[in-house]
């Protein structure tokens, strides 16, 4: 702390507030805000990359690849997000431990599944029991990024697939008439033009991703909503050196301002991007978004 907070009960109101807002638990609260921003910064590009990959698979001329791309998009989009958050992380975690178990402990004779328990050898556990709390947090956060990326990557794949379908067919036919092969047509014609058709859907997906970040608590991560509820609840002198009443209203009001600010800034950035992509196309970005 940057203030002398050794005796909170003897501080005036201003110093008490400064000490209260800079104590250890509030630093963790601020750190949880950083978690949200890092999650968005990592999950968004990974989702876009995965979505492009799935859209290319779904547009493939090879039937097995086409069916695989469409199946992945359908199966992820058709299952509620909460079910994915609760099931996929557990399945991924246990899958990784199972692979490590059969690799590192080939002499294990007991069954891994014992009723509701999933038991692997000590070497196979992720992270290990001797790992620090920081390692456990990083591991859980990586699982969260993977989960968010897969879920929103499937939605992005559907958006990109529709955007590729929206590219005017006469341009494709003209490119074929000039002798361009399918790969050249995709990268020089379809890929470059699909972004303007995909942007409205991607904008909505980004907003949904922002609003989905409070679901981090389902993955066992102490996120911004968890700490707002924890810190805002009534505290008595018996349990804390900074007693106060029920302040959850103020903490959640802060969350309201935080998310509204984040979405408003996102709207401005996306609007500028739309203007740039629609430049020279004969209509403004606003009119294009209204058409969509």
SS3 143: helix
- Domain spans of the chain, in order of start: 31-229
SS3 114: strand
Tell me how far CA of residue 51 lies from CA of 54, 70, 146, in angstroms: 5, 11, 13
Q: What is the pLDDT of residues 267-279, one digit of tens each?
A: 999 888 888 877 6
Residue given tokens 């978690």 in the structure block: 35
Phi, psi of 244 (to 5 degrees): -160, 170
Q: What is the pLDDT of residues 8-59, one digit of tens each?
A: 777 788 888 888 888 888 888 999 999 999 999 999 999 999 999 999 999 8
List, as one string, the DSSP characters of 77-102: HTS-HHHHHHHHHHHHHHHHHHHHHH
CA 81 to chain CA mean position, Å: 12
pLDDT of 257: 94
d(CA 38, CA 137): 14
Contact 228, 256 (CB under 8 A): no
Q: Rounded to 10 degrees, what is the CA torsion of 204, 74, 37, 202?
A: -30
pLDDT of 3: 62
Fold of 31-229: MetI-like fold (1.10.3720)
Task: Give pLDDT < 50 ranges for the chain.
Answer: 1, 283-292
List, as one string, the DSSP characters of 249-289: HHHHHHHHHHHHHHHHHHHHHHHHHHHHHHTTTTS-HHHHH
pLDDT of 288: 47
Q: State pTM to two decimals.
A: 0.82
d(CA 165, CA 169): 8
Q: Rounded to 10 degrees, what is the CA torsion of 164, 169, 171, 172?
A: 70
Q: What is the CA radius of gyration of the chain?
A: 25
d(CA 170, CA 177): 10
Give the distance between the most distant pair of CA atoms in the chain.
84
pLDDT of 134: 83
């Amino acid at each position: 702390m940057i203030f002398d907070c050794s005796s909170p009960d003897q501080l005036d109101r201003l110093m008490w507030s400064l000490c209260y807002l800079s104590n250890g638990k509030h630093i963790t609260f601020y750190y949880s805000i950083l978690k949200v921003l890092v999650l968005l910064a990592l999950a968004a590009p990974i989702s876009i990359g995965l979505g492009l990959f799935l859209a290319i698979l779904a547009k493939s001329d090879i039937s097995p690849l086409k069916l695989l791309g469409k199946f992945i998009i359908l199966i992820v989009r058709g299952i509620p997000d909460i079910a994915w958050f609760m099931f996929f992380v557990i399945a991924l975690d246990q899958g990784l431990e199972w692979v490590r178990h059969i690799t590192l402990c080939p002499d294990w004779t007991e069954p891994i599944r014992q009723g509701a328990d999933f038991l692997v050898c000590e070497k196979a556990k992720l992270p290990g029991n001797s790992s620090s709390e920081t390692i456990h947090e990083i591991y859980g956060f990586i699982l969260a990024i993977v989960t968010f990326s897969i879920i929103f990557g499937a939605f992005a794949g559907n958006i990109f697939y529709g955007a590729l379908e929206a590219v005017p067919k006469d341009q494709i036919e003209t490119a074929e008439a000039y002798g361009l092969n399918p790969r050249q047509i995709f990268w020089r014609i379809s890929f470059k033009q699909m972004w303007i058709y995909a942007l409205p859907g991607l904008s909505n997906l980004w907003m949904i991703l922002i609003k989905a970040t409070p679901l981090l608590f389902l993955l066992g991560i102490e996120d911004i909503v968890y700490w707002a509820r924890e810190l805002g609840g009534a505290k008595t002198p018996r349990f804390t050196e900074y007693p106060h009443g029920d302040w959850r209203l103020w903490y959640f009001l802060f969350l309201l301002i935080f998310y509204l600010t984040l979405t408003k800034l996102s709207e401005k950035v996306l609007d500028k991007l739309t203007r740039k992509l629609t430049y020279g196309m004969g209509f403004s970005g606003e009119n294009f978004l209204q058409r969509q």
